[in-house]
């Protein structure tokens, strides 16, 4: 098979190629490792849980690679869908599951202080996530849902129990608030 520059492939192409070529999955992993850690670190407030959940999500994604249907949504949405499901399961059951990792034969992680520190740096390095943490909760939910998770305004309106217009306002206001604070910091 001719060598291919996987870094130029779309996420959806990587998942398709990943059925036969593990390197494509490596590129996909690299694209989303930080995003997953950020998502869970923000949701749980703990670096160890973020690492645990991230591992479970990638294992679950690997296990259900053949079920990915690009016609139903982007690979990003698919991965975040798995992530949100894992998070909901964790909140429901009060523990992080390891089923997917066991199924895929992935070794348990031994997290060092440096590992945890690198995850915490994601939210404490003055990045936009730190600004996100400072937003009022209604704006934060709207910005996270729309910008990080790329969900529809209509879906968010249902979840946040408000109109689409209010969700748009919250996203707009939240982003402007973050821009304003970035400006203050410069």
Partner 1 sequence: MSRLPQLRASFMDAAERRTSAPARTRRGRKRPLPLVVVIALVALALAAAAVAATGVLRTGSPVRPARRLTPTVGLGVPARGGSRVLGVSFADPAGGPPWGMQVVHTTRDLVCIQIGRRYRGALGVLGLDGAFHDDGQFHPLPPDTIGRQPGATSCQPEGVQVSLEVSGIPESGLMPEFGALGALSQARWVSYGLLGPDAVSVTYSYRGESRSLPVEPVTGAYVIVLPGIETGANRRNGITSGGSSGASRPGAGGPLPNPAGALTSITYRLGATTCQESIEARASDPCPLPRRAFPSRASLESSPQLHRPFDVRLRRARVPGSYSAILEFVAPYAVPNALSGYSIASPTPCHEGTDVDPIDRDIRAGATVTVPLEAVFANACGRSVILEVLYSRRGAAPVPGPGTVVVGKATVERPR
Interaction site with partner 1 (CB under 8 A):
18-22, 25-26, 29-30, 33-34, 37, 43, 51, 54-55, 58-59, 62, 65, 67, 69, 71-73, 81, 84-85, 87-89, 91-93, 104-107, 109-110, 115, 118-119, 122, 131, 134-136, 152, 154-155, 157-161, 164, 169, 172-173, 176-177, 180-181, 184-185
> Which one, 8 or 69, has the nearer CB to partner 1?
69
Quote the least distance from Cβ 10 to partner 1, whole Å. 18
For partner 1, give the closer residue by CB, 10 or 121. Answer: 121
In the complex, the smallest distance separating the C-beta of residue 88 from partner 1, rounded to whole angstroms, is: 4
What does R_g of the chain's alpha carbons equal in angstroms?
A: 18
- The distance of closest approach from Cβ of residue 8 to partner 1 in the complex, given in angstroms and rounded to an integer, is 20
Residue 13 beta carbon to partner 1: minimum distance, rounded to whole angstroms: 15
Q: How far is the CB of 80 from partner 1 (least distance, A)?
A: 8
10 or 23, CB closer to partner 1? 23
Handedness of CA 80, 82, 85, 91 (dihedral sign): negative
């Amino acid at each position: 098979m001719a060598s291919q520059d996987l870094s130029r492939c779309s996420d959806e192409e990587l998942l398709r190629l990943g059925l036969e070529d593990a390197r494509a999955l490596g590129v996909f992993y690299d694209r989303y490792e930080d995003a997953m850690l950020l998502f869970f670190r923000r949701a749980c407030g703990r670096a160890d849980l973020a690492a645990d959940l991230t591992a479970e999500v990638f294992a679950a994604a690997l296990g259900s690679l053949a079920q990915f249907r690009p016609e139903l949504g982007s690979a990003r949405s698919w991965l975040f869908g798995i992530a949100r499901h894992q998070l909901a399961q964790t909140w429901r059951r009060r523990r992080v599951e390891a089923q997917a990792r066991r199924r895929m034969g992935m070794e348990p992680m031994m997290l060092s202080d440096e590992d945890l520190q690198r995850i915490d740096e994601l939210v404490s390095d003055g990045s936009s996530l730190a600004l996100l943490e400072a937003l009022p909760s209604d704006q934060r939910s709207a910005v996270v849902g729309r910008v990080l998770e790329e969900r529809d305004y209509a879906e968010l309106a249902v979840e946040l129990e408000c109109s689409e217009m209010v969700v748009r306002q919250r996203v707009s206001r939240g982003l402007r608030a973050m821009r304003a604070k970035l400006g203050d910091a410069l």
